[in-house]
Amino acid sequence: MTQGPNGREQQMAAQGASIASQRLTIEELETPVLEVWEGILALPIIGTVDTARAQTMTERLLEKIVSTKSEIVILDITGVPVVDTSVARHLLETVTAARLLGAEVLVVGLTSRTAITLVHLGVDLGDLTTRTTMAKGLELAFARLGLEIRRMKDQAPE
């Protein structure tokens, strides 16, 4: 049985809607902004960062800062395979935009290779706060918010 012109148009429209929905899902998965604690957001970045992705990432982060009234953002670049001048510029733009909304930004996931590359590129990281791991970033974030984390066994018995 063959489809008429209207049948093909409906099928193409349905496929277009499906593709648009899938594209949105992929964008949401590749730039998740997580509220890890009250007042603390995390943005884990995995894969390459191009201009379009950086823009989407920054927009989502800024929206989440406003909606949660978060004071601290942790940008985790552990999963970024190459940090070059372009990636560094995108990260600094994201940091600047978040700071304009009153959030302190910590960049975590720096490796020795990344640090050396940034120094060789002459990228000015200025007053950017960095830590090597997410755990170290969370530790600093909790301290900045006046929170203390203790192991249960370290507490005195009551």
Query: What are the tens digits of pLDDT across the range 21-69?
Result: 666 655 555 679 999 999 999 999 999 888 989 999 999 999 999 999 9
Contact 106, 71 (CB under 8 A): no
Domain boundaries, the chain: 31-145
Query: How buried is 90 (Cβ within 10 angstroms: 0-12 exposed, 13-18 middle, 19+ buried)?
Result: buried
pTM of the model: 0.78
Domain 31-145 falls in which CATH fold? Transcription Regulator spoIIAA (3.30.750)
Distance CA(90)–CA(51), nearest Å, equals: 7
CB atoms near residue 34 (< 10 Å) = 13
Least confident of 1-5, 75-79, 100-104, 114-118: 1-5
